[in-house]
Structure 1
Amino acid sequence: MRSKLLALLGSAALTVGIANAGGYQVNLQGQKQIGMGHVGTGLALDQSSIFFNPGALARLRQNGVQVGISALTSKIAYREPSPGISEARTDNPMGTPFQVYASYGAAESPWRFGIGVYTPYGSTVTWGNAWQGRFGLNELTLKTIFIQPTVSYQITDKIGIGAGLVISTGSVNLQRSIPLIDASGREGHIELDGKAKTALGFNVGILVQPIEKLSIGLTYRSEIDATVEGGDVTFITPGAAPVAAQFTANQFDATLPLPDNITLGIGIMPTDKLTIGIDVQRVGWGAYKSLRFDFNGRVGQAPPVETTVSDAPRNYKDAYIYRIGAQYKVSDMLTVRAGGYYDQTPVRTGYLTPETPDADSRSVSAGMTLALSEKIDLDLSFSYINKKERTDLADKSGGVPGTFKSVAYIPGVGVNYKF
């Protein structure tokens, strides 16, 4: 029982199986960009360049503030390895990833200063207490917030550079059943709850416009380690006192890498009204080799064990996202958008878990901007993501063997104020 329990606890307590990005990354950082397949590295569309390419921010000659939010509805279905035996579906609450950006600079100055607040990782997965994989996961909630003060400089009328300091914070709550049953049939339960330490990273970029109808952008966002120290551990252990004595841990430490990203973007402007964006993004998932938990007490072990270490392999691989999108200015009041992307999964065969039942995914999206006045714009977006059905025995990670299928529906809205 000890080895089985440690394998279960070794599943990714800091990751979350959301259906809108490879691994556990959320790609919802700008409403205009969402409508165009989330392209934006080679373009200077609005203040969200703080995230997409700090080097593009200096090209914006107008100061502004923008606020956006998406309503993420995701569903994950599961089927046991033997067809027709049993199935399960998540009952996830709606997620609300958001973004806030503001920038300012003097009219004739080559400098622009900005700040962004956005949520690149976070959602909730709820499988419940009765599904077949409940010893792997009942419920998981991950929340992260990045704060990014940014500076951008227009070197010439064709070249802009920029950089931002990324300040990361967040929290996690994981609940799962324990394979212990009392006389009444009640199962054991564990809850892990912790707040990640504040961590630092950076975001740098350059935008070059060699000719009037072409722009090229390159950005790099650094890896950040999300570390929980002294997180709370709560056990419900049915049975007699000797059983409870095997579960004495009340705190845990763990670290999760939030991977680095490098993106090359191209903007093409065939006409004054039409803009096309193409991005290729490499996500450094190879940094996620394993997930280690250090507990300050026993987790299913009898004395003389006083502490427990659980180290579960993940062995993610670097993955690529290929994006394309376009916008067309119908009139001074209306701009319409459409796009899509293909996102490779970083999860190798044998390592699939119910927290991140990931697979290669395809997304299509659309959006529009309504100019309500000279100073106020309204952005609308909608994205649909469909992950390929994937069957995995999860024999290398202590996950839940079976077949998983994920989809997501994500409408969004944003307001831009220019001054």
Structure 2
Amino acid sequence: MKTTWLKTAIAIAAGALSTQALAAGFALNEQSISGMGTSFAGRSSSADDATTLFGNPAGMSRLKREEVSFGMAAIHAKTDIKNASGAPGSNDGDMVPTTAVPMGYYVKPLDDKWAIGVGIYVPFGLITDYEGGFQGRYFGDYSEVRVITVQPTVSYRFNEKLSIGFGPTINRIDGQLESAVPRMHPLATADSRVKIEGDDTALGFNVGVLYEFTPHTRAGITYRSKVDYKLEGDTKITGSDPALGSAGANAYGKYDASLELETPESIDVSVTHELNDQWTLYAGAMLTRWSRLESIVVENEGMGPAAAANFGTIAEEQDWHDTWSYAIGAAYKLNKQWTLRTGLAFDQSPTNNTHRSPRIPTGDRTAVSFGLAWNPTDDVTVDLAYSYLWEEDTKIRQNKSYANGAVQESYSSTYENSAHGFGAALSYRF
């Protein structure tokens, strides 16, 4: 029971556990459809539309007109689970439903130096839903977590070369995680269940600098701060196992739970170069400080003495490491109405073989992207994008014990993950 509780709590503590999102760890990349077309190369230097509010808030100073941009990205994932062993069950691998990621931005230039704006986007998010008889169900079989961010922003242009931008972020996290508990008593007829729900709102910030070496070449750097959460919620343990429901040590019930979490800061650096009237080239790299996720500590209240002995305070080592992602891209302007984009990206995974679980079965990944921009008028732009990513084979090796070692469970398998991403956005300039 202690390990089951912990494995489920880790999913909430991780924030989003993005198994198949187009970024590593539990981050999402889908905050810009125009950026998606180049695999997000040049994210902090392109400043092509209102989505620069996220990519680099300093880029708002390049926009000459008031602009709104709304978009949606859909992620369709596929997982093959091979070489599985453990408790009796199945390994369908179809655990990530097609998921939509919305975004919206508004930017208004006040004069030739100042601009203001506001953005709403999803930096983290996941739904994973394994089948009921999943072989790894004791290590997590349902996760639904998301972070929604609102970012009011201001930018200032010092001169023709240098601009800065800043925006505080208001971040709302909520999640629901579930896992099964194996039968511990000979008379038990079914698994028990653990369900955790929690949420919090916390502040962070996004700051950027944009420097234009020439009218055709510019570089940007964006810093996205860490965010400190204290999730408050409850844990519900249900079932009919006599070993867990005995009068002297009844573990079934609903309990208050809380945990502290830091989502990591990141630094994004990129360069945009307009080669000529038709070709634009992009390159970028981002460092994410995933090493902040060293361990998870969950505090629980309202339990009886017997339950509190196991669940009062729970901790587990994570030992994630910092990661780099790299991307290159290009855009080709066919004519005034049509622009084509493409990009290639490589993203490291912060997880390690020791602690990787079915909730986060991710490895290093590669993504290729294609995009299309249509400008039917000077006021309107329609962006479409497609990305395909694939990961290295990822191994899971998990073990846990129950009832002071009387019940042992293990799960091992190899995951082969891939995903298709589709995006569409509409931008309108006033």
Give me the TM-score of the superposition, normalised by structure 1.
Answer: 0.92
The yes-or-no answer on 1:211 pairing with 2:214 is yes
**C-alpha separation between the residues in 1 aligned to 2:353 and 2:308?**
37
Q: Which residue of 1 aligns with 2:405?
A: none
Identity in percent: 25
User: What is the 5 A alignment of 1:402-413?
Assistant: 402-413=413-424
Q: What RMSD, in angstroms, separates the aligned Cα atoms of the two structures?
A: 2.3
Higher mean displacement: 387-396 or 409-418: 387-396
1:226 aligns with 2:229: yes
Gaps of 5+ in 2: 401-408
Q: How many residues align?
A: 412
1:225 CA displacement:
2.3
What is the match of residue 51 of structure 2?
48
Identify the structure with the greater helix proportion. Answer: 2
Q: Quote the Cα distance in structure 1 between the aligned partners of 2:33 and 2:180.
A: 39
Amino acid across the alignment from 2:418: V
**1:161 and 2:160 correspond:** no
Question: Contact 1:129–1:177 at 8 Å: present in 2 too?
Answer: no
From the superposition, tell whether residues 143 and 407 of structure 1 become closer, same or farther in structure 2 (CA, over 3 Å): same
Matches within 5 A, 1:358-373: 358-373=362-377
Q: Show the counterpart of 1:124.
A: 127
8 Å contact from structure 1 (residues 249, 307) kept in 2 = no
Distance in 1 between the 2:17 and 2:103 partners?
Answer: 20
* Cα shift at 1:156: 0.4
Shift in alpha-carbon separation, 1:50–1:337, aligned structure 2, 3 A = same
Partners of 2:410 and 2:170 lie apart in 1 by: 32
* Matched residue type, 1:245: N
- Distance change (3 Å), C-alpha of 1:306 and 1:356: closer
**Distance change (3 Å), C-alpha of 1:7 and 1:99:** closer
1:276 and 2:277 are equivalent in the alignment: no
How big is each residue's C-alpha offset from its partner over 1:149-196, in whole Å with a ceiling of 9 and x where there is no partner? 10001110111111111110021001111113674621101111122x
Matches of 1:50 and 1:66, distance apart in 2: 11
CA distance in 2, matches of 1:238, 1:365: 50
Check the 8 A contact 2:195/2:236 in 1, yes or no.
Answer: yes
Q: Closer, same or farther in 2 for the Cα pair 1:29/1:130, shift >3 Å?
A: same
- The CA distance in 1 between the partners of 2:307 and 2:396, in whole Å, is 36
Aligned to 2:291, the other structure's residue is in SS state helix
What SS class does the counterpart of residue 32 from structure 1 fall into? Answer: helix
Q: Deviations over 1:88-129 (max 9, x none)?
A: 3133222111110100023x4310001110001002011122
Helix, strand or coil for the counterpart of 1:316?
A: coil
Which residue of 2 is the match for residue 340 of structure 1?
Answer: 344
**Paired residue for 2:313?**
309
TM-score (norm 2): 0.90
1:287 equivalent in structure 2: 292
Counterpart of 2:238 in structure 1 is 236
Distance 2:163 2:11 in 1: 40
Q: Which residue of 1 aligns with 2:201?
A: 198
Maintained 8 Å contact 2:5/2:311: no
Indicate yes or no: 2:95 matched with 1:91.
yes
Displacement after TM superposition at 1:137 (Å):
1.0
Cα distance, 1:306 vs structure 2? 8.6
Distance (Å, rounded) in 2 between the aligned partners of 1:17 and 1:63: 34
Q: Does 1:18 align with 2:19?
A: yes
Do the aligned partners of residues 159 and 400 (structure 1) sit closer, same or farther apart at CA in structure 2, a change above 3 Å counting?
farther
**Cα offset, 1:378, TM superposition:** 0.9
Cα distance per residue 1:247-295 (max 9 Å; x no partner): 3452211233221110111111110221111011001101111122212
In the alignment, structure 1 residue 326 sits paired with structure 2 residue 330: yes
1:72 aligns with 2:83: no
Is this contact kept in 1: 2:8–2:196, CA < 8 A?
A: no
